[in-house]
Amino acid sequence: MRYIFILLFAGLLHSCTAQQKQSKAVVSNLPVNADDNTLLWEISGNGIDTPSHLFGTFHLMCREDIHFSENLKTAIKNSDEVYFEMDLDDPANTLGAMFYMNMKDGKKLKDLYTEAEYKRIITFFEDSMQLPSMLLQRMKPTFLEAFLYPAMMPCKTMSGVEEELMKIAKADKKEIKGFETIAFQASVFDSIPYDVQAKSLLKTIDSLPLYRLNFDTMLNVYKSQQLGKIEKLFNGSDLTQEENLDVMLYNRNKNWVSQLKTILKKENIFMAVGAGHLVGSQGLIELLRKEGYTVRPIKN
Mean pLDDT of the chain: 85
Largest CA distance in the chain: 64
How far apart are alpha carbons 185 and 100 in whole angstroms? 9
Cα angle 50, 292, 251 (rounded to 5 degrees) comes to 100
How far apart are alpha carbons 281 and 182 in whole angstroms? 27
Q: Mean pLDDT across the stretch 111-140?
A: 92
Give residue 211's pLDDT.
Answer: 84
How far apart are alpha carbons 214 and 220 in whole angstroms? 10
Which position has the higher pLDDT, 15 or 128?
A: 128
The domain locations on the chain are: 2-297
Which position has the higher pLDDT, 148 or 225?
A: 225
Give residue 14's pLDDT.
Answer: 27
How far apart are alpha carbons 125 and 129 in whole angstroms? 5
Whole-prediction pTM: 0.84
